[in-house]
Amino acid sequence: MLKIVITGPESTGKSTLAKELAKYYKTTFVEEYARIFLTNLGRPYVQQDLLEIAKRQIAQEDSATNKNPKLLICDTSLEVIKIWSEYKYQSVDVFITNSLKVRKPDLYLLMRPDLLWE
């Protein structure tokens, strides 16, 4: 299986590209769990929430992998959660760090901003 991760800054079309690639190649798409989690949270997130997001993201990827696709398109990766945790909390849960060592994609597609920020 080939695992491709779409990553980059906010509002650069990552989700749209991931969905379109999955549709074009008739394969499995794993959405960004953080978006779902944070939308439904109802309170400001805390560092422990990042661990929950990471675990759920992994569960979604594992569920998709169990379908044995030749190609897996992911809308995010654990690296994003790691960077987010380092930036906001100056630390990263060991589960996230250890998971990154064994869960490596085959290819990253890095999006860049093409809209002016106001």
Q: Which amino acid is at 70?
A: K
Give me the residue spans of the domains in the chain: 2-110
- The per-residue pLDDT for range 8-63, each reduced to its tens digit, is 888 888 999 999 999 999 999 999 999 999 999 999 999 999 999 999 999 999 99
Q: Is 0.85 topped by the overall pTM?
A: yes
Among residues 51, 12, 5, which one has the least CA distance to residue 32?
Answer: 5
Helix H or strand E segment including 40: helix 33-41
* pLDDT surpasses 90 at 114: no
CA–CA dist 30, 77 (Å, integer): 10
Decide if domain 2-110 falls under CATH 3.40.50.300: yes
Beta-strand pair 2-7/107-110: parallel
CA-to-CA dists, residue 99 to 23, 70, 114, 115, angstroms: 28, 22, 32, 33
Contact 107, 5 (CB under 8 A): yes
- The per-residue pLDDT for range 94-110, each reduced to its tens digit, is 999 999 999 999 999 99
